[in-house]
């Protein structure tokens, strides 16, 4: 008697396809195969248009390197990447009636520890719908907040203190690791960048500066992009 092979039922095949779709994730990018994007953020003076924040963030007025500027990549492909989790806790102190540092950049899901080194009581609050909170920190005290979602470079979480209106800070929260806050030398280095097309962006929240440029990077290469800004890049109210 001739035997006929029976195929898999349609329902089983459909289930297998669905499971494979659910299980698929974008492959993790090997950081050592990525590109490097490096450069310096500088401010160029226009005598007729004074940038009043220059005295706070530009140490050398002749060369113009800017501190506390956030440099980051933007691109659809970055959302699909699989990146290592960040266990490090970022720290923001309240010292001399200021947030120190004033500008921070972290990964989505990362925790920030707020401390109060002043003799006076302080408070830290955010009214951003992405992560609203309002807590008082006594002298010598501290608290932690985890920022679960990222607004990227265009939407930092602005912080304040209800007791001292002059205190302010910004926390930029990213879904990927390709960002950096500049120190007084204005330098930035983004490493392990997957090859592709991106928008390189810079924001300085306190000084209201914004800048961007389309770039393309290839595996293993180093791309130097100096970011030169002027009063033309100051955001209007």
Q: pLDDT by residue for the chain (237 residues), tens digit each? A: 444 444 445 544 444 443 343 333 334 455 557 899 999 999 999 999 989 899 999 999 899 999 999 999 999 889 777 888 888 999 999 999 999 999 999 999 999 999 999 999 999 999 998 889 999 999 999 999 999 988 999 999 999 999 999 999 999 999 999 999 999 999 999 999 999 999 999 999 999 999 999 999 999 999 999 999 999 999 986
CATH class of 28-80+186-237: mainly beta
Q: Which residues pair with 35 in a beta bridge?
A: 193
Task: Provide the whole-model pTM.
Answer: 0.84
Q: Following DSSP, what letter does each residue of 167-210 receive, concatenated? A: EEEEEEEESSS-EEE--TT-EEEEEEEPSEEEEEEEEETTTTEE
Query: Where are the domain boundaries for CATH 2.60.40.1120 in the chain?
Result: 28-80+186-237
Q: How many residues does the chain have?
A: 237
Report whether the peptide linkage leading into residue 202 is cis, meaning its omega lies within 30 degrees of zero: no
Comma-separated ranges of CATH 2.60.40.420 domains in the chain: 84-175
Question: In the beta sheet, which residues pair with residue 111?
Answer: 146
pLDDT at 9: 54
Q: Where does 84-175 sit in CATH, by number?
A: 2.60.40.420
Residue 199: its pLDDT value, please? 97
């Amino acid at each position: 008697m001739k035997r006929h092979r029976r195929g898999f039922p349609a329902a089983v095949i459909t289930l297998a396809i669905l499971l494979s779709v659910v299980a698929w994730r974008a492959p993790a990018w090997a950081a050592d195969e990525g590109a490097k994007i490096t450069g310096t953020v500088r401010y160029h003076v226009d005598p007729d248009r004074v940038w009043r924040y220059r005295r706070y963030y530009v140490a050398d007025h002749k060369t113009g390197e800017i501190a506390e500027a956030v440099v980051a990549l933007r691109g659809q492909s970055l959302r699909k990447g699989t990146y290592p989790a960040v266990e490090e806790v970022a720290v923001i102190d309240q010292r001399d009636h200021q947030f120190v540092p004033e500008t921070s950049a972290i990964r989505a899901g990362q925790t920030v520890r707020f401390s109060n080194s002043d003799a006076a009581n302080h408070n830290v609050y955010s009214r951003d719908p992405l992560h609203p909170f309002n807590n008082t920190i006594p002298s010598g005290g501290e608290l932690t907040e985890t920022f679960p979602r990222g607004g990227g470079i265009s939407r930092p979480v602005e912080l304040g203190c209800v007791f001292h209106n002059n205190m302010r800070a910004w926390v930029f929260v990213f879904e990927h690791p390709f960002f950096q806050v500049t120190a007084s030398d204005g330098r930035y280095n983004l490493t392990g960048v997957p090859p592709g097309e991106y928008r390189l962006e810079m924001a300085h929240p306190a000084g209201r500066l914004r800048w961007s440029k389309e770039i393309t990077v290839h595996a293993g290469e180093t791309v130097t992009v100096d970011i030169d800004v002027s009063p033309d890049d100051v955001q209007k109210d």
